[in-house]
Structure 1
Amino acid sequence: MTTSPTTLTLAALDSRLSVPTRQLAAPGPDHDTLLRILRSAVRVPDHGKRVPFRFLRIAGDDRKALADATIARLLQRESRPAEGAIEKLRNRLTLPPLTIAVIARLGEDEKIPVSERQATASCVCLLLLQAAQAEGFGAQWLTGWPAYDRPLLERTLGLAPDEQLAGTIAMGTPQVEVPDRERPDPASLLTDWSPA
């Protein structure tokens, strides 16, 4: 008996999970595989066909350079960071062999609200996770303070004032089998609308 494409697709969607960055190691996706992953990731709802996102690849020795710059910014923000914060930040940026920053482009637009363009960029992040997993890699979507720190975003990552970091997607080969977490029951989240 063959498995239907619908069953295979839903099984892939239902099996998505995040692999912590500390559990991601080389190899990561090569250039061609990354382009294949990105081809899936750009198939998002996009009101007005604005393509309100772009990608920034962080790989190789640039991972350490970005970690150093991010740690320097943390020390500017906080004179005494929490215990382990520096090591955690360094690992977040150097352990995964590849990180893709998804940058939302949110400039003036007379027709499409900023919230819709931000939502499109967020959808890209989710599809990056799905596509990386489909290619056999683990991935994790990360934000935290670096995603909102304008000096870091503009001076270090080169974002324009009208751009925002939707998140970074760390990718690599999982070093452990990650247990699934409990998921919400969709039936408990569903209500029916009826006119008053």
Structure 2
Amino acid sequence: MDHFAEKLIHGRTHISPKRLGDPGPSESQKESILLAASAAPDHGRKVPWHFIEIQESSRASLGDVFYQCLLERDQSATTIQLQEARDKALRGPLLFIAIANYHDTSDQISKQEKLISLGCAIQNIILSAYAYGYGSGLSSGRALESIYIRNLFQLSDHEDPICFITIGTVLKNKPDRIRPGLSEYHSIF
């Protein structure tokens, strides 16, 4: 493996969105990072995914959805917990939501294959961000399953929100995690 690719793949780690701050990528870096997604494997060239950028002006609306989702799940949530839920929308200078798109008029490509393509596109985005010197983190949660998220982002019936991607400058980092050994995920048949 090329030394640069190995350093890129094995050097990148998950950074919690609360540990990502300014500065974020410039406009040209952001465009380059997003263009990396287009190199993902994509059977039939259907582009079964897209990414929605949540700008600063829309963060409060997303925070309101997080608040509402927590309140609906846990009516005994404290004021502090509800505010923390709302504040999650404010983390990191660059925030995307990754959307899987299962619509395929030919119906030849499985849902699983479309999800794999999205996963590869996400990996390309976070590796590209890392190559520019930024940290990134993926986050999910039960709010992604809510009607509130679907309504906020105007998702159709054949689209699913999969995760959020936060990108920014690493403000604080945990020690590197120990990666699994080959024997933990490889066998021979």
SS in 1 for 2:47: coil
Greater share of helix residues, 1 or 2?
2
Segments of structure 2 that go 5 or more residues without pairing to the other structure are none
In the alignment, residue 29 of structure 2 is paired with which amino acid? T
Output the CA distance in 2 between the equivalents of 1:8 and 1:91. 36
Q: What's 1:128 paired with?
A: 125
Question: Are the counterparts in 1 of residues 67 and 83 from structure 2 also a CA contact under 8 Å?
Answer: no
Q: Which amino acid aligns with 1:43?
A: A
TM-score by length of 2: 0.90
Match of 2:42 in 1: 46
CA-atom RMSD, angstroms? 1.9
User: Unpaired runs of 5+ in structure 1?
Assistant: none
Alignment partner, residue 20 of structure 1? 16
Note if contact 2:19-2:173 (Cα within 8 Å) is conserved in structure 1: no
Query: Quick one: distance in 2 between partners of 1:57 and 1:130?
Result: 18
**In terms of mean alpha carbon deviation, does 48-57 or 77-86 score higher?**
77-86
What corresponds to 1:79 in structure 2? 75
One-letter amino acid matched to 2:135: G
**Does residue 1:29 correspond to 2:15, yes or no?**
no
Answer yes or no: is 1:89 the counterpart of 2:55.
no
TM-score (norm 1): 0.87
**Selected match of 1:102 from 93, 98, 111:** 98
Q: Provide, for residues 65-85 of structure 1, a one-character-per-residue CA deviation record: whole Å limited to 9, x for no partner.
A: 211232123323431237854
2:138 paired with 1:141: yes
Provide the rounded CA distance (Å) in 2 between the counterparts of 1:169 and 1:46: 20
Does the 8 Å contact 1:121/1:166 carry over to 2? Answer: no
State the partner residue of 2:111.
114
The answer to whether the 8 A contact 1:22-1:91 is kept is no
SS at match of 2:54: strand
Paired residue secondary structure (2:45)? coil
Secondary structure, in 3 states, of the residue corresponding to 1:141? strand
Q: Quick one: distance in 2 between partners of 1:38 and 1:85? A: 33
Larger Rg: 1
